[in-house]
Structure 1
Amino acid sequence: MQKRSIEIAGHRTSVSLEDSFWSALSDCARLQGLTVNALVTRIDSERDADTNLSSAIRQFLLAHARAGKLPAGGADA
């Protein structure tokens, strides 16, 4: 697990995600024509108040994977 700094709506924060999730997040952002920061900002704005950001990102990516919106195998495929 790695902690990385990102910017959400003009403020810096850090998120801890496993490398496979960072890779999937990057792939998803690229496929949507967004930066990782822009995608995380969107995820942040849509998450429930009782869900932490790292969990919200994992849930978002799981939903996209189940819907077939992420390439199989991620960036390494």
Structure 2
Amino acid sequence: MSLVEKRSVTIRGHRTSYSLEKPFYDELVAIAENRTITVAALVAEIDETRPCEANLSSALRLYVLHWAKQKNQ
């Protein structure tokens, strides 16, 4: 069993995928629930704001980390 799971999502009509460890994915789901949006909508939002050179998986991890740090302040 892999520690990283690949998931697919449609963003602005285009199918793409990202790979995340389960704890990051679980936290991404919790953030989406907290914001009352779908995971796909959250991923699309993060995708729109990430630097061009950053891959989507890394951008998602950094977003989760940022969210966790803000929550603990």
TM-score relative to the length of structure 1: 0.86
* Backbone CA RMSD of aligned residues: 1.0
Unaligned runs of 5+ in 2: none
Q: Which amino acid aligns with 2:44?
A: T
Percent of residue pairs identical: 45
Larger RCO, structure (CA 8 Å, separation 6 or more) = 1
Aligned positions, number? 69
Counterparts of 1:28 and 1:59 in 2: how far apart (Å)? 13
Structure 1: 4+ residue segments shifted above 4 A: none
Could you list the runs of 5+ residues in structure 1 that have no partner in the other structure? 70-77
1:36 matched to 2:32? The reply is: no
Q: Equivalent residue of 1:4, what SS?
A: strand
Q: What is the rounded CA distance, in whole Å, between the counterparts of 2:13 and 2:31 in structure 1?
A: 21
